[in-house]
Amino acid sequence: MGSSRAEKKRAAMRAGLAAERPYVAVGAHDAMSSQLIESYGFDAVWVSGFGVATMTHALPDLNLTTMTETLRASVLIDGATTLPVLADCDNGFGGLSNVVRTLIEFERSGIAGICVEDNLFPKRNSLYTGEAKRELLPVEEQARRIRAAKAAQETATFVLVARVEALIAGHGVEAACQRADAYAEAGADAILIHSKDKSLGEIEGFLDRWSGRGEIPLVAVPTLFPDYTDQELYDKGFQMIILANHPMRAAVRAMEDVLDTLSVQRKAAAVDPHIATVDHIFDLVRTKEAIALEESGG
């Protein structure tokens, strides 16, 4: 089952998750960010739920984007790259049946894999600091959902990454280990252990204590511990590193700077040295080639 394009991407993702070097994904929020990520030599593309909510919908990352909207964004992002795409599917958008349907729809759409986290619906972005308490699904329920989704999978190669939010929720290292064990046992293909501890103390506690280490790949999102290189994180025990939101933040900063200058100077030339040329944009989407094809004989 599955097209050869999807199968190639899934095989590449599985090889990357088993490779003896860091497997690095960068977060895309749209098709062009996906294309650019590939042209800078990264290994995979992460569909950032945060990025899609923010850039496509101008909404906060609070489970407001639906499964259908996330799938649509993921298909556009996947279409713009030959790299494998790992789609951030939040908590699977509801209950057990929603998680199962999410896996089936993304698999049938040719995406290489999905990531599902154990935040209760409606989730809140993990980096958000202004909240009193974060609620997680009970570990048994999340394991049940993962098991059910994996049982519904139609190909052998589609990748399900189970994301553990126990450290983000302040439940500590033991709880994180228990969840990682349960999700691995339920059939997850990799574990994303999320943390916002800048010192990396929590993560190192997890890496020291987790017995499943070495048996299943571990994934890191180092947004809040940004000083470690991909190789340093690999050497600590992470197979996949996701640089989740940097293109989005670059785009917002660049647009704000240009709009600020335009609003003050009131003429286009003021920003010309700071923006991509129109020809560069034409080149990025292979405009000349498309027109040559339209005008070719025959």
Q: Is 113 exposed, middle or buried (0-12, 13-18, 19+ CB in 10 A)?
A: buried
Q: Is 227 exposed, middle or buried (0-12, 13-18, 19+ CB in 10 A)?
A: exposed
Q: Would residue 61 show up in a list of annotated catalytic residues for this protein?
A: yes
Cβ 182 to Mg ion, closest distance in Å? 21
Q: Binding-site residue total for Mg ion (CB under 5 A)? A: 3
Cβ nearer to Mg ion, comparing 49 with 110: 49
Binding residues for ligand SPV, per CB under 6 A? 27, 48-51, 88, 125-127, 221, 223, 244-245
Cβ 27 to Mg ion, closest distance in Å? 9
CB 108 within 8 A of CB 73: no
Cβ nearer to ligand SPV, comparing 157 with 240: 240
23 binds, among Mg ion, ligand SPV, none (CB under 5 to 8 A by kind): none
223 binds, among Mg ion, ligand SPV, none (CB under 5 to 8 A by kind): ligand SPV
Cβ nearer to ligand SPV, comparing 157 with 245: 245
Closest chain position to Mg ion (CB):
49
Cβ 169 to ligand SPV, closest distance in Å? 12
CB 205 within 8 A of CB 193: no
CB 55 within 8 A of CB 62: no
Binding mask 24-63 for Mg ion (x = CB under 5 A): -------------------------xx-------------
245 binds, among ligand SPV, Mg ion, none (CB under 5 to 8 A by kind): ligand SPV
| Catalytic-labelled residue, pool 61, 78, 88, 189 | 61
3-class DSSP state for residue 40?
A: coil
Cβ nearer to ligand SPV, comparing 175 with 224: 224
> How many other CB atoms are found less than 10 A from the CB of residue 201?
11
Cβ 248 to ligand SPV, closest distance in Å? 8
122: preceding bond cis by omega (within 30 degrees): yes
70 binds, among Mg ion, ligand SPV, none (CB under 5 to 8 A by kind): none
Cβ nearer to ligand SPV, comparing 73 with 221: 221
Residue from 30, 43, 88, 230 touching Mg ion (CB under 5 A): that is: 88
Structure tokens at 202: 């929590």
Question: Contact region for Mg ion (CB under 5 A) — 69-77, 83-91, 215-223, 249-257?
Answer: 83-91
What ranges make up the beta strands (E) of 32-177?
A: 44-47, 85-88, 113-117, 159-164
What amino acid positions are annotated as catalytic residues?
61
Binding region for Mg ion (CB under 5 A): 49-50, 88
